[in-house]
A and B are shown apart, each in its own frame.
Chain A
Amino acid sequence: MGTDDVPLDDKAKRMRDLLSSFYSPDPSSTPNAPSKHGTLDAINTTSFDPDQYMNLLVQKSNLEALLKRHVEMAAEIKNLDTDLQMLVYENYNKFISATDSIKRMKSNIVGMEANMGQLLDKIMSVQSRSDGVNTSLFEKREHIEKLHRTRNLLRKVQFIYDLPARLGKCIKSEAYADAVKFYTGAMPIFKAYGDSSFQDCKRASEDAVAIIVKNLQGKLFSDSESIQARAEAAVLLKQLDFPASVREFAEAIRAYRIIFPDSGRQLITLAQDLVINHFETTEQYVKRRISSANLLGVLRTIWADVLLMDEVLHEAVLPDFSLEAAQGAVKKYVASTFTYLLQDISDVLLRVNVSPKEAAEEHPLQVALEASRKAVLQGSMDVLLDFCQFLDDDLGLLVKLRDFIIDWVQEGFQGFLSALDDRFLLLSGRKNSSSPDQGLTEGAHSEKVLAGLVLVLAQLSIFIEQTVIPRITEEIAASFSGGGARGIENGPAFVPGEICRIFRSAGEKLLHHYVNMRTQRVSALLRKRFSTPNWVKHKEPREVHMFVDLFLQELKAIGIEVKQILPQGLLRKHWRSDSNGSTTSSRSNPLRDDKMSRSNTQRARSQLLETHLAKLFKQKVEIFTKVEYTQESVVTTIVKLCLKSLQEFVRLQTFNRSGFQQIQLDIQFLRTPLKEIVEDEAVIDFLLDEVIVAASERCLDPTPLEPPILDRLIQAKLAKLKEQNPITP
């Protein structure tokens, strides 16, 4: 090993060693390379061997070098020693100071626990004392509050009792303002308790007030009083809410005018305020449900008053002023009448929702339809008659408003019918209202909408379109036509064509919605039927599966519902299948089977093949036709959609031979009952065949059941059904 090689090797080795000692988890597993070769710098490693080191040193260096090395080493050793000592001293220092601080801490804390305990005790005692104080004072406090309340009450009662005396005093001193103030303050209590507890007081004060009023009136009408006084009197009378009859008011005004020729403005404002008040009261009144006769009566009185005042106060131009005010009142009346009509109709319809099972009627839907039809037609006619009264009356006020009334009635009907349409859609759950706060409840479909209600609404829409709107148009043309206040360019306010269109489309939408709702229910049933069993490992078919019972039951329920509401179709088509060219009918006919010469399986197989071929040449049958408003059409559409769903469910599964045979059996059983309830038998045949074809394509071994077995199982099912319903309809 040459000396040149050794340093290089050593360096590399040293690097490798350092790295390996750093990375290796177990120091004893470091490779033994250093011990083999040995390096001068290996003095710091764990595998240092002094003999080897010495040997190497002696080998490599001369005497001088050795001595130098010796000196170096001594120095290093001394350094290391001092370092060591320093470290030790420092360590010890630190330990000692740590011990000291811990000792101090301990002494500090020792006393604390005792202090804490004392503190806790003291606080507990304070708390218990405070509780004691509270409880002992509690009753007293309650008592005090009760007494306080009683005192207030007594003060009030005292006030009431003193009222008559006080009023008398005021009358004597003619301090009418105070009197009125006291009286109005006591009014609420009289209203509440006047009949029971404070009868005497009430009577006495009412007498006193009557005297005051008389005096005030006297003041008002006597010419000898000052303006101030009379004005005060008038104001006080008003405060007392005294129904100063207009006649007296007119007298008063006349008097005023004589005295004060230039107080016109105030009087005008006063008179106008009076009129406004009257009409506001009227508007409140019309919010309630009144007939137009009542309103007429009210308007008549008001108008009489107005005319009276007009004689006295021409500059106020009261008639025109009251015309404007009257407009508001009449318009509101028209609007509220329509709102009530809408409410009535909704109520009738909502009655359907209320547990039809408990209803005593056999045909709840029919009853509901009749009731709602009547509500709509009769209601509209009544409303129109009502409004006619307005036009026939010759009250001056109404004559002037005639044009407006015509417009309002027409617009009202337009608005009402649109609102009715909206309400129908809302009731059927078809329309999601777009307002955000309603949206949350709508989205959860919290209200269960009965399918029957939807059907009723559909039929009702058609009734409205066909009957009600023409009637309304007639009536309007008879009574409410000619010269509305709207300009010619705006056109008439009531546009029957548009409304008819709206209701027709609503009717269609509702009918589709009904069909969808019903179909969804049946789909759920079919979905369960086809996704539950393991079709690939299906057992031999023993009997017709019970889902056909459920299916037919649902269809029967739909039939009952539909019969109550919709009319029958015009012609019932009877299609016998022997006119069909296809050989898909595997209808059970025992006579035919006996005459078959070929083997049964082969015949069944070839039937399937012929189905395929025949399909190519048969005319494409329209499955999805428009739904009409007849019983048969609705039922047929539902059945068609359900059968299509059935086919789609079948296409998603994979069957073994028995599974396929089960499907074949079920479908064959369904053929007859379904054909009885629909109007187009060919389509049903087609759809059922499609199901069989789809099943055969998804089957690992599509061998159909032999016809005799098929017939036997079907007969067995029919017999079982007859057993269960001894009175077969």
Chain B
Amino acid sequence: MQGGSSGIGYGLKYQARCISDVKADTDHTSFITGTLSLREENEVHLIRLSSGGTELICEGLFSHPNEIWDLSSCPFDQRIFSTVFSTGESYGAAIWQIPELYGQLNSPQLERIASLDAHVGKINCVLWWPSGRHDKLISIDDENLFLWSLDCSKKAAQVQSKESSGMLHYLSGGAWDPHDVNAVAATCESSVQFWDLRTMKKTSAIERAHIRNANYDMKKKHILVTAEDESGIHIWDLRKPKIPVKELPGHTHWTWAVTCNPEYDGLILSAGTDSTVNLWLAPISAGDEPNSEA
């Protein structure tokens, strides 16, 4: 409610680029974060908000082989998460599982459930379906979209289908539509492409350059929020993809990431390179304002 709140801090030893909230853990507010260090030993931390809500406690500390560029927690199993990592020269992606009873082991090690090893070149991110139990994964690299079927019990992931995004379209990331398990949005250099996973073909696109991050609204269908480098935040109705429904100023420099609140309509959280996090109230039918910064 007040601008410029200070928040609760947690320190990692090295720089980190990724943090993911553990949706599947409904008893606590937990996050998984991974470090990005080129020359040192990388780690994954499982942190939890204390019951008093005053501090973040590290529940688990695991070592991870390489620097982590993308990390995403599985929405239906709180011990499973995916990472995209790099040795500096090559990239890899894998699904990991935190061992049971990790709190009691001396030095718990992550179990590698599956490797997504069909990629050549730079991998951008791995997407889980955000709305429930689904045994498929999407991984996006610079030029291709892969659909994997994951079997956690058999510890195997197989490529189900793969499609290239076409010449001169470099993909950078994406988001899975929580309302339609067959629709996925992929952000690319000059547009956001929408794919149908059953046919692996593009269905439509929003022409807009330099979108860094896109996120679907969990409550309303057809609403997509995008963060663009310099132009701020835009809210789109996918049925009319020519002009955005609403524009928010974003940040002083780039807007890096944006998410919609899954519970409250119109609450949008954005993070930018000007070292601030803004909370926006933008219900689709009324006005908007930034609320707080940190």
Chain A residues in the interface with B (C-beta under 8 A): 432, 439-440, 442-444, 516, 519-520, 523, 536, 623-624, 641, 644-645, 648, 654, 697-700
Residues 263-280 (chain B) with a chain A CB within 8 angstroms: 273-274
- What A residues does B89 contact at CB under 8 A? 536, 654
* B interface majority secondary structure: loop
Complex CA gap A443/B207 in Å reads 9
Question: What's the minimum C-beta distance from A619 to chain B, rounded to whole angstroms?
Answer: 16
Residues of B within 8 A of A519 (CB): 230
With beta carbons under 8 angstroms apart, the residue of B15, B231, B254 that contacts A648 is B254
Residue pairs across A and B with Cβ atoms less than 8 A apart, 28 shown, are A432-B243, A432-B247, A439-B242, A440-B242, A440-B243, A444-B207, A444-B242, A516-B230, A516-B231, A523-B229, A523-B230, A536-B88, A623-B274, A624-B274, A641-B253, A644-B253, A644-B273, A645-B253, A648-B253, A648-B254, A654-B38, A654-B86, A654-B88, A654-B89, A697-B15, A697-B38, A698-B38, A700-B39
Query: How far is A699 from B243 in the complex, measured between Cα atoms in Å?
Result: 41
Instruction: State whether the Cβ of B204 lies closer than 8 Å to any Cβ in chain A.
Output: no
B233 CB, min distance to chain A CBs, angstroms: 14
Nearest first, the 5 closest Cβ-Cβ pairs linking A and B are A443-B243, A443-B242, A624-B252, A654-B88, A439-B243
Residues of B4-24 contacting chain A, CB below 8 A: 15
Complex Cα gap A604–B247 (Å) = 47
Could you tell me the distance between the alpha carbons of A432 and B245 in the complex, rounded to whole angstroms?
10
Query: Residues of B contacting A698 with CB < 8 Å?
Result: 38
Assembly CA distance A698 to B38 (angstroms): 6
Task: Write the chain B residue with the least CB distance to A531.
Answer: B170
How many cross-chain pairs have Cβ atoms below 8 Å apart between A and B? 44
Residue of A nearest to B170 (CB): A531
| Chain A residue contacts of B230, Cβ below 8 A | 516, 519-520, 523
Contact check, A699 vs B273: say whether CB atoms are below 8 A apart: no
Rounded to whole angstroms, the CA-CA distance of A654 and B87 in the bound complex is 10
Q: Bound complex: CA of A548 vs CA of B254, how far in Å?
A: 22
With a cutoff of 8 Å between Cβ atoms, the chain B residues found around residue A697 in the complex are 15, 38
Would A700 and B252 count as touching, CB distance under 8 A?
no
Task: From B38, B86, B231, B273, name the one whose CB has the most chain A CB atoms within 10 angstroms.
Answer: B38
Residues of chain A with a CB closer than 8 A to B247's CB: 432
C-alpha gap A443/B242 in the complex (Å)? 6
CB distance from A432 to the nearest CB of B (A): 6
| Minimum distance in angstroms from A627 CB to a CB of chain B | 10
How far apart sit A519 and B253, CA to CA, in the bound complex (Å)?
10
Query: With A and B bound together, what is the CA distance between A440 and B242 in angstroms?
Result: 7
A505, chain B: closest CB distance, angstroms = 13
Q: How far is the CA of A519 from the CA of B230 in the complex (A)?
A: 8
Interface residue ranges of B50-86 to A (CB < 8 Å): 86
Closest B-chain residue to A442, C-beta based? B243
Chain A, Cβ-Cβ closest to B39: A700
Q: How far is the CB of A655 from chain B (nearest CB, A)?
A: 9
- Bound-state CA distance A443–B206 (Å) is 10
Which residues from chain A contact B231 at a C-beta distance below 8 Å? 516
Report the bound CA distance from A96 to B230 in whole Å.
86
- CB <8 Å contact, A699 and B38: yes
User: Which residues of A lie under 8 Å from residue B244 when comparing CB positions?
Assistant: 432
Could you tell me the distance in whole angstroms from the C-beta of A529 to the nearest C-beta in chain B? 15
Contact between chains at A645 and B38 (CB < 8 Å) = no
With both beta carbons as reference points, the residue of chain A lying nearest to B67 in the complex is identified as A654
- How far does the alpha carbon of A623 sit from the alpha carbon of B252 in the complex, in Å? 10
Min CB–CB distance A643 → chain B (angstroms): 10
User: What is the minimal beta-carbon distance from A161 to any residue of chain B, in angstroms?
Assistant: 63
When distances are taken between beta carbons in the complex, the residues of chain B under 8 Å from A443 are 242-243
Q: A523-B230, A644-B273 are in contact. Are A700 and B254 (CB under 8 A)?
A: no
Do B254 and A645 have beta carbons less than 8 Å apart?
yes
14 other contacts beyond A439-B242, A440-B243, A516-B230, with CB at 8 A cut-off?
A439-B243, A442-B243, A443-B243, A444-B242, A536-B89, A623-B274, A644-B253, A644-B273, A645-B229, A645-B253, A648-B254, A654-B38, A654-B88, A654-B89
Q: Report the bound CA distance from A657 to B244 in whole Å.
A: 44
Residues of B within 8 A of A523 (CB): 229-230
Most chain A CB within 10 A, of B230, B254, B274, is at B230
**Assembled-state Cα–Cα distance A143/B253 (Å):** 78
CB nearest neighbor in B for A512: B249
Q: How far is the CB of B90 from chain A (nearest CB, A)?
A: 9
Residues of A near B207 (CB, < 8 A) are 444
Contact with A along B243-261 (1 / 0, CB 8 A): 1100100001110000000
- What 0/1 readout, one digit per residue, does chain B (191-224) give for beta carbons within 8 Å of chain A? 0000000000000000100000000000000000
Query: How many Å from the CB of B288 to the closest CB on chain A?
Result: 15
Report the bound CA distance from A654 to B231 in whole Å: 27
CB-nearest residue of chain B relative to A654?
B88
Enumerate chain B residues within 8 angstroms of A654, measured Cβ to Cβ.
38, 86, 88-89
B229: which A residues are within 8 A, CB to CB? 523, 645
Q: In the assembled complex, how far is the CB of residue B63 from the closest CB belonging to chain A, in whole angstroms?
A: 20
- Which residues from B are CB-within-8-Å of A648? 253-254, 273
Task: Quote the shortest CB–CB distance from A448 to chain B (angstroms).
Answer: 15
Name the residue on A nearest B86 (C-beta): A654
Q: B256's closest neighbor in chain A, by CB?
A: A648
Bound Cα distance from A641 to B230, whole angstroms: 10
Q: Return chain A residues, CB-CB under 8 Å to B273.
A: 644, 648
Cα–Cα distance between A654 and B91 once the two chains are bound (Å): 12
Bound CA–CA A444/B242 (angstroms): 8
Alpha-carbon distance between A263 and B63 when the two chains are bound, in angstroms: 109
On chain B, the residues within 8 Å of A439 by CB distance are 242-243
